[in-house]
Amino acid sequence: MRIAVIADIHGNLLALDAVLDDLDRRGGADIIVDLGDCVSGPLWPRETMERLQALNLPTVRGNHDRRVAQDTADETMWPSDRYAQERLTPAQRQALLALPLTLEIAPGVTA
């Protein structure tokens, strides 16, 4: 089984697409797993979330995903988290919060 792992996208939709295109050129994978920190960043949080939701990848919740989804946007929140939180829809923030902390991808493989 070929497993591709992506992580720390941080709202960089162009980089995500470049990685997925490169994976395609290399013959793909049986499964692509996303290790979280999907949208926090000063680029395209909403658009990145839309792309990831369309891909429906097994995804775990990163620390920035949790912050963007549930924390109060105040002076303790990093600017990149606040930027993402302000641009995501309530449904997108709920989807981030609903992500599991761990996933068993295959027997003996835990994300």
- pLDDT digits 0-9 by tens, 93-104: 999 999 999 999
Residue 73's pLDDT band (cuts 50, 70, 90) = confident
Domain locations in the chain?
3-105
pTM (two decimals): 0.91
Give per-residue pLDDT as tens, 30-51.
999 999 999 998 899 999 999 9
Mean pLDDT of 20-37: 97
pLDDT at 75 over 90: no
Mean pLDDT of 47-63: 97
pLDDT at 66: 95
pLDDT at 110 over 90: yes
**3.40.50.1110, 3.40.50.1460, 3.40.50.450, 3.60.21.10: CATH of 3-105:** 3.60.21.10
Question: DSSP string of the chain?
Answer: --EEEE---TT-HHHHHHHHHHHHHTT--SEEEE-S--S-SSS-HHHHHHHHHHHT--B---HHHHHHHHS--STTS-HHHHHHHHHS-HHHHHHHHHS-S--EEETTEE-
- Average model confidence (pLDDT) across the chain: 95
Mean pLDDT of 1-5: 95
